[in-house]
């Protein structure tokens, strides 16, 4: 006869031939009930706290979670049922996923998917080291006033809107045409480095070859200065005695960098890097949408080859009922992969350093 | 030995200064160019003579913007949306963050997850757009026809800001709360008299984050508020619309507006981009005006936003 941990919870009544709850179990049951009673009581006692939670939850449910209900549209045919209600469409299974992976729209989708990765990768490759370099250099500026002036200048672009950033970029890199005889001022710098005449006149932003360069430059312009704040805080936290000790040991400037500064900011760098990788797929579609040119002209259509990302593609697909479901499917794929990256990065960060963002 | 150290240090310093000054100049240059192009004559701008100082100084473009009623209507919309949007978002964020910061809140991790999940996964543009359009419909049925209110209430959520507030509230010592409670303070009084004054810096930072994103918001306002409702546009949408209509920088013209571009100089003495630049200057003046005061808050906010738990 084996004995379970709680095998005393029933007692067998031989007279009636039935089982009933044992006294021990009755006590256990009672405490369980008390716990639930207490839960009700704690909620009631602090009801104001729960009321405070309501507006925030309502906002999130109505405008963040309710759109997720519409996601089922990617398994449904939008030409059937009541156009207003996604629930009334008929199910078509994975038809639209097939369409974007292997079917009609696959060329556009894979191009956009690749571009999402490439854009994000370039953003990381150039956008990540730059703030660290800036922070290290800020540390060299001994005069507080000079440093503040430089910092004011480099933080400023972060506060400009995407519309302003992109219109500045579009004007500075513009081509000729429409009564304009001269190419943009910064395009002239590219001319010195041998950009072809046709590309320059077309407008460098609208050429497949230079689009990514310009994207990276504007990205650095916008974010590098501001992103350096967190690294600069890590750099100035290095105690002056460490430098002095290194100097006494005969370390030159490079050696001080190598053995004093870099090791002490390394944990910040690693965390920020992991987090950047986590956010890899959430490229700013607003900026790309504003940068990549409007219209149906050949020069702009060609440019989509370099700059179209999944979100902008979905946005273009959203107008047509036929491609709308494909757009939902494509973006859902993109966001799911993005979520896996974020969670993976976060768990690595947690394991690496016992800190995490969430 | 000593000389060698000084030499390498000197080289490093020179490199650092050179790099920083070049980068700072690059950051400022487009704005300086905008300023000089805004006040230059049309021919000087379009032939590329303007590089850093204004040529043939004229205020015509700027005056045209000053007299552009639609621009100022949209500008006022942006001020309106920024103010009420920030107040609304800050309101529910502070209340929610306060509740979330309490250990005695049941299901605290669950509620937290509701927030944090939106940072990991979003439904995407198309579902979000459908949702906003339905919202606008519902608001219209409720009698709120002005689409500004859809922008204010339904947009601009930011879970990171709520978590910043929550972390700051968690940092307030619980003894102070207990003392207030013994003195007979209600929950709301504890929040307004104890927690909010003690987290002033964070609240200012978060308010600025919300405010700046409202001031700069474009995409959803552009998607939701169509041309027929342009009296409700924020100024960013107006600027972009102007660019698309009258300049060639963002691609080709719409067939309906192509004439406006072709014959621009028949009726204007300044370049279309000069007008754009004047608008850009008008749109960034408020940010430049408060920038010196907010800079330190932003630096603080970024460092707080880092790591927790």
Q: Chain A residue with minimal CA distance to B186?
A: A48
A311/B91 Cβ within 8 A: no
> Shortest CB distance from A185 goes to which of B24, B48, B99?
B48
Question: Cα(first)–Cα(last) distance of chain A, in Å?
Answer: 50
Query: Does a structural domain hold residue B52?
Result: no
pLDDT at B4: 53
Tell whether B239 and B103 lie within a shared domain.
Answer: yes
A143-170 burial, b for 16+ CB within 10 Å, e for fewer? eeeebeebbbbbbbbbbbbbbbbbbbbb
CA angle A197, A202, A203 (to 5 degrees): 100
pLDDT under 50: residue ranges of chain B:
1-3, 305-309
How are beta strands A10-13 and A90-91 bridged, if at all? Answer: unpaired
Q: How many residues does chain B have?
A: 309
Q: Chain B residue with minimal CA distance to A288?
A: B219
Q: Chain A residue with minimal CA distance to B100?
A: A53
B157/A48 Cβ within 8 A: no
Quote the DSSP letter at residue A93.
Answer: T
Chain B residues inside the 8 Å CB shell of A356: 307, 309
State pLDDT tens for residues A237-261.
Answer: 888 888 888 888 877 777 888 888 8
Distance CA A321, CA A329 (A): 13
Structure tokens at A145: 């006033």
B21-35 burial, b for 16+ CB within 10 Å, e for fewer? eebbebbebbbebbb
A60/B247 Cβ within 8 A: no
Cα separation values, B73 from A129, A148, A160, B148, Å: 43, 36, 21, 12
Number of domains in chain A: 1
- β partners of residue B155: none
Chain B residues inside the 8 Å CB shell of A281: none
pLDDT at A92: 87
Q: Nearest C-alpha of chain B: how many angstroms from A197? A: 16
Distance CA A144, CA A15 (A): 93
Structure tokens at B235: 């100024």
pLDDT at B129: 92
Tell whether B13 and B156 lie within a shared domain.
Answer: no
Query: Does a structural domain hold residue B25?
Result: yes
Q: Is B190 on the interface with A (CB under 8 A)?
A: no
B216/A53 Cβ within 8 A: no
B243/A167 Cβ within 8 A: yes
Distance CA A322, CA B257 (A): 29
Structure tokens at A138: 């800020």
Tell whether B111 and B5 lie within a shared domain.
Answer: no
Is ipTM > 0.90 here?
no
> Shortest CB distance from A182 goes to which of B47, B212, B240?
B47
Chain B residues inside the 8 Å CB shell of A69: 127
Mutate to test the interface with A, among B251, B299, B303 (most CBs of A within 10 A): B251
Chain A residues inside the 8 Å CB shell of B115: 56, 60
Tell whether B299 and B220 lie within a shared domain.
Answer: yes
pLDDT at A323: 85
By the 8 A CB rule, do A139 and A159 touch?
A: no
Query: Does a structural domain hold residue B64?
Result: no
Tell whether B4 and B109 lie within a shared domain.
Answer: no
pLDDT at A130: 94
Q: Which domain range does residue A305 map to?
A: 108-353
Which residue has 């910064």 as its token pair? Answer: A186
State pLDDT tens for residues A8-64.
Answer: 667 777 777 777 777 777 776 666 666 566 677 767 777 888 999 999 999 999 999
Chain A residues inside the 8 Å CB shell of B25: 153
Query: Does a structural domain hold residue A68?
Result: no
Query: Does a structural domain hold residue A172?
Result: yes
Q: Is B293 on the interface with A (CB under 8 A)?
A: no
Query: Does a structural domain hold residue B37?
Result: no
Longest pairwise C-alpha distance within chain A: 108
For position A231, which CATH number holds?
A: 1.10.3720.10
Query: Does a structural domain hold residue A112?
Result: yes
Query: Does a structural domain hold residue B53?
Result: no
Query: Does a structural domain hold residue A120?
Result: yes
For position B123, which CATH number holds?
A: 1.10.3720.10
Tell whether B152 and B8 lie within a shared domain.
Answer: no
Distance CA A179, CA A201 (A): 12
Among candidates A173, A200, A211, which has minimal Cα distance to A307? A211
For the four alpha carbons of B210, B24, B237 and B36, in that order, the dihedral sign comes to positive
Distance CA B133, CA B160 (A): 26
Tell whether B11 and B131 lie within a shared domain.
Answer: no
Query: Does a structural domain hold residue B51?
Result: no
pTM of the model: 0.86
pLDDT at A250: 79
Chain A residues inside the 8 Å CB shell of B153: 59
Number of domains in chain B: 2
Tell me the three state secondary structure of residue A13: strand
Query: Does a structural domain hold residue A238?
Result: yes
pLDDT at A298: 64
Q: Which domain range does residue B135 map to?
A: 70-305
pLDDT at A4: 47
Report the interhelical angle of A162-172 vs A208-236 (nearest 10°): 130
A170/B249 Cβ within 8 A: yes
pLDDT under 70: residue ranges of chain A:
1-9, 28-38, 42, 177-179, 295-302, 353-358
By the 8 A CB rule, do A259 and A162 touch?
A: no
Tell whether B110 and B193 lie within a shared domain.
Answer: yes
Query: Does a structural domain hold residue A66?
Result: no
Q: Is B126 on the interface with A (CB under 8 A)?
A: yes
Cα separation values, B176 from A52, A137, A276, B180, B189, Å: 20, 43, 38, 6, 13
A278: Cβ contacts below 8 Å, ≥ 6 apart: A341, A342, A343, A344, A345, A346
């Amino acid at each position: 006869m084996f004995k379970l941990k709680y095998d005393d919870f029933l007692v067998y009544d031989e007279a009636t031939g039935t089982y009933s709850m044992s006294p021990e179990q009755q006590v256990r049951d009672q405490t369980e009930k008390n716990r639930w009673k207490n839960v009700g009581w704690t909620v009631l006692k602090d009801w104001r706290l729960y009321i405070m939670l309501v507006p925030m939850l309502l906002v999130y449910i109505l405008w963040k979670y309710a759109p997720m209900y519409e996601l089922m549209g990617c398994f449904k045919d939008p030409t059937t049922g009541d156009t207003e209600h996604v629930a009334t469409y008929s199910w078509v299974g994975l038809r639209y996923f097939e369409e974007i992976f292997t079917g009609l729209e696959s060329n556009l989708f894979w191009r956009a998917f690749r571009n999402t990765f490439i854009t994000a990768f370039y953003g990381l490759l150039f956008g990540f080291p730059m703030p660290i370099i800036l922070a290290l250099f800020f540390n060299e500026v001994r005069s507080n006033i000079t440093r503040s002036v430089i910092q004011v200048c480099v933080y400023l672009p972060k506060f400009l809107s995407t519309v302003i950033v992109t219109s500045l970029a579009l004007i500075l890199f513009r081509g000729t045409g429409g009564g304009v005889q001269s190419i943009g001022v910064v395009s002239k710098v590219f001319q010195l480095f041998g950009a072809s005449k046709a590309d320059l006149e077309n407008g460098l932003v609208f050429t497949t070859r230079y689009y990514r360069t310009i994207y990276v430059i504007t990205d650095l312009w916008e974010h590098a200065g501001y992103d350096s704040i967190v690294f600069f805080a890590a750099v100035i936290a290095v105690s002056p005695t460490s430098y002095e000790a290194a100097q006494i040991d005969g370390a030159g400037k490079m050696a001080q960098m190598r053995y004093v500064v870099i090791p002490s900011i390394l944990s910040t760098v690693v965390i920020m890097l992991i987090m950047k990788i986590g956010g890899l797929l959430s490229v700013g579609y607003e900026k790309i949408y504003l940068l990549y040119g409007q219209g149906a002209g050949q020069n702009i259509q060609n440019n989509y080859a370099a700059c179209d990302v999944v979100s902008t593609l979905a946005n273009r697909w959203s107008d047509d009922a036929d491609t709308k479901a494909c757009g939902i499917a494509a973006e859902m794929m993109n966001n799911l992969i993005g979520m896996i990256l974020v969670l993976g990065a976060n768990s690595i960060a947690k394991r690496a350093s016992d800190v995490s963002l969430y | 030995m000593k000389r060698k150290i000084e030499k390498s240090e000197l080289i490093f310093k020179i490199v650092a200064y050179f790099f920083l000054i070049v980068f700072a100049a690059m950051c400022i240059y487009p704005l300086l160019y905008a300023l000089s192009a805004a006040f230059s004559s049309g021919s000087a701008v379009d032939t590329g003579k303007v590089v850093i100082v204004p040529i043939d100084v004229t205020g015509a473009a700027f005056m045209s913007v000053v007299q552009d009623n639609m621009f100022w209507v949209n500008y006022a919309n942006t001020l309106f949306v920024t103010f009420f949007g920030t107040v609304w978002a800050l309101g529910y964020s502070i209340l929610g963050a306060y509740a979330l910061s309490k250990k005695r809140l049941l299901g605290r991790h669950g509620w937290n997850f509701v927030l944090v999940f939106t940072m990991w996964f979003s439904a995407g543009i198309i579902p979000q757009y459908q949702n906003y359009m339905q919202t606008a419909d519902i608001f219209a049925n409720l009698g709120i026809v002005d689409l500004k209110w859809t922008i204010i209430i339904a947009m601009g959520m930011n879970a990171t800001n709520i978590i910043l507030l929550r972390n700051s509230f968690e940092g307030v010592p619980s003894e102070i709360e207990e003392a207030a409670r013994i003195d007979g303070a209600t929950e709301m009084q504890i929040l307004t008299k104890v927690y909010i004054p003690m987290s002033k810096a964070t609240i200012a930072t978060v308010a600025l984050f919300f405010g700046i994103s409202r001031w700069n918001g474009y995409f959803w306002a552009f998607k939701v508020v169509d041309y027929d409702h342009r009296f409700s546009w924020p100024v960013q949408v107006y600027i972009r619309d102007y660019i698309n209509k009258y300049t060639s920088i963002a691609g080709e013209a719409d067939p309906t507006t192509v004439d406006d571009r072709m014959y621009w100089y028949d009726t204007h003495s300044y370049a279309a981009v000069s007008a754009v630049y004047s608008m850009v200057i008008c749109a960034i003046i408020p940010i430049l005006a408060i920038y010196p005061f907010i800079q330190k808050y932003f630096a603080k906010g970024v460092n707080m936003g880092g790591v927790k738990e």
